[in-house]
Structure 1
């Protein structure tokens, strides 16, 4: 169509040039040049619009009204000059003008694909000739007067029929060719993939076609499957059979199949095939072997509830068990107790003998706790060297004290780890509901206060929550006052730990880590004062300070270097937080894409939807979002497919375990596969050895962070890393 339109426009413009040449002595030059300019512009616009319509509609239906109107306008514009100059011309010029108009009318042949446009063109040109002959004082023979009309009638009729046939046939051919090409490509794609397969049944649900892949999965030749009942080849799957009986479209129907090579999981989708009369003729659809996906998902779900080192319930799972036990107690089924246990002397052992023996010791402690608690409750590990015990239906405070002392005695016995005798103690704090509190949060805090009291009273003892623990609250108040002074007197500072590309040792960013040198207490651990700041409501002010300082510092780095800032759940859930981030970026003159906010899975514990909304707002500003310490706490699997995370950070515990346990390697592989499916960058944290570095690279991690490259460093020292291309040599120097 576009080629014919171009030919038509060229013909019309050429005819206009001839008209100007012929009328150069018979008409005003300004009028002639204005007319030919209008003809040129009109035809240029017509070609431009036609090309755009072709790109948008392809071989589909053209807007006939627009094309027809365009033809009519250009025809009227073209014949305007011959009509205006005809009467004053000499006889030879009149004959020439009539012939020229007749030739231009014949150019309507190029519009045959749009019959209405061709009719409009020829009709206007013919009408112009009739008008010229009728208005001329000279009397022409009737045959000359009728000749344009006969010419136009024959031409329009022929063009209309020819145009319809050509256009319809072209559309049909193109449509069929495109459909055949698409279908062929799709079939080849599915036939050559190992997981996806095609299937088709007749009206009795017997297979009329099935891809060879399903035969390989089931351990049978695909030719032997044709003619069999579709559900029967999967062991008579009831869910598939009942779905097929509905004779309706179904999508991603999942079921388990027993094969010669073990159980497999299938996902099947299908669409009914109907005859022209609307009668059901069978199904056709696709299937997929989703076994590996299922296994990976099961591992991740288990990972979200189980501590990878000890195999005990993790913090999240313990909390769930406590909630269930407390709910039963509220109904009148006794008391539900919670014990918090913290190992005394574990850190020196871990620092002296290394993480390997430290982990072995933790597993040995877990085993003793499980044996000692037995049927009284459930033991869990809540992180580091801290454990918890949920005691549903505990028979009062005295029973808790007896059990706690037994646990202290058992844990304190000497351990033999790799021919080394190791000794640790145990401090325990406890509370029970509903007598000591009626909510989970309240009882967890009071158990924690009791544990702190036990450690303060000399360790190796049990303390149950009571009002004397107000001293703990007083201590928190002292810490609150010290934190307010630290904010007012600018006692905080930021250190930065490099984040390095896994492919080549070059810094791609830094994680900002807060440090506090108290005037009298010395260096304060963030683990000590950040929880207090969250509890007393200062975390927002501290977080705002960290954001402002990190953005200002990062602006001084090269433009490709980003900065990561940890965000507390309490800080994130503030409605003003997105504005606070925007203000920090503006004042620091830092591009949003250079800021990365790190959140942990705990953000989804209280208000998951609210956290999701705020994270999306931040992401719309261009800020990157990272999920830190994945798998160590709350299961955020349901939120990974919300497209809110740009990065997933693998916790140090998995990095360390992957170097010594095959199961841990599989877990890391599952995490990497899951993150990759969502196009997330993967960072391995806490990498300390060359072996761990190589393993994380081989498993597909994109970035590395840890002591293998550098400890956190003051801001000024970060510039040394930009002076050398090799990050290791820069740090070593």
Structure 2
């Protein structure tokens, strides 16, 4: 019974390992896959060997002679090096087939490496302390189990490793002597047998898995071949011709494909195709088909353009030669597939890839491709071109007020107008949104470009009618000359954009040609943005303070906190330059929060009797966390909100008046005072003065500057003061520089002034010094004024006190 059991298992083992010795190709592929399972694990296994060796040496080095452990370590390093060298070689050149010799080499390496690991347990175990013996025992049994399972994809190697290391462990234990040693040896033998059986089982599973994978790949290849063959023979119509090109069989389907009015039995393939080809026998598709047939090789997808029933269609022809046993081609057999729908779909995709679907103009991709050609042509010949970038000035307002359908109509109208003016060689493109571009090819002079730009603006700025509505379009334009203003696509388009921005800043409805200083300004703005991100952290920002003085008593009533930036390399940078950059880059929130906290801190500690004004950007006011920043500043500094006045400009109501009013009312509920800055210069609307109770109206310096020269400026100032008095608001005149201006404002009834006449913006130390030396008796005298101005001043009678509303 037992002999039969072992015989049966031995036969099964021989059958399972036959693949490792058979010379056939299939076995060679499977051997390579088995070896790959070990190869992938080689680096991990070798690192584990080194790690265990180092740990073992640290534990037993004191009890083993240096010569012994150095010799053992050298042998181990040699075996590890050989394994890693083989791994590197196979990693660079993957093995697809492996011989039985490769299996034997892997088995031999596993056996030798196991023998090296038997040295500590056989040679050293008797001379070690109990704890060191435990270290050797644990390491040996762990290596035996782990190595056996790791090498199980090549069962010979796994068993060689397990049996060699197990035999060494048994011998080492037996050498210790005693009953316990023999018991341990017996247990180790049982353990080795269990590992050997497990290795064999794992090897069987690995072999089954690899065979399944190989069979799946073989089937996949077969399916691929069948699918390709099916694809070659599944076209719409089969055809077959002899060596001379005459049809050997004409099916009803083939006849219907070409049309019933052709006698295909009397004609050859080329005659029939030429009769249906718009280009006749010399058509490009027929020429390629003739070349393919003359080559006597199979071919695929030769495309022909034909007409059937007066309708253009596209056919794809695929064929193989019919060959005799002698190798001579006696004819052709193939298929004709109608690919009209695919061709039309391809044309639609191509159109969408290079044309704008709304206007029919070229799109950005086509413009860039054309620019490449133009730039290359200008580089090789004395030729000049120009790129004009256009942007509609009031398109957003049209979209918002009249709807997107009218906006689309405007875009189509602009496209038509641009095409009506351009030459045939020029390219008109829509870049997206309300952005357009015109590429002028081969211009003779800068004057020609300027004249065409003016003509374009004249045409575009004319009113148009969209869906029964009269619409004013308007556009701004930037011009870049090629190659003067760039020799790459990005340079040319970027410089045209810079010129466009300059045109918008100069007032819109005009064009600007790129100049070097625009590029320098752009680079400076990029530098400012990059440096501004670090300015707060580096402590480069500071506040200067400009007093507000009561006109009647000449006492200092408040100060305005003005942000300043002194860069270590760029020097002092104007707020008019870096604040727009901060708004555009999203830094205005952090900057505004810092300004508010710093102003609150200074107001609390060093300006206890003054109202401190802080400017708030429209973008800052619209931020969701703006109110949280304000509340945090008051909570952190402990300052009463009534000590802070926030100045806003009229433009804050343009984009989102509802949000602006909501945030301003929230500030008002906190106790913050609100001033409307630059009143009367931009978007003033009396409805906002009714809907929000401002505390202060600040008269813009533009009116103050003309008080002594223009009577209408004096009338406007008087009106603003009267309006503020009626609504119970204070008035502050900005930019007061002359005593005569002060006198005009006093007679008009203005409350306070702010300007160089009182004091320039000062650092905090100088402001404190000015406050300590401030004397109300130093009020400047009006000075001599022209008689015509004096007469006008007599008419500036302030509103009676009874007309003021005290809130």
TM-score normalised to structure 1 length: 0.41
- Higher Cα radius of gyration: 2
Larger relative contact order (CA 8 Å, sep ≥ 6): 1
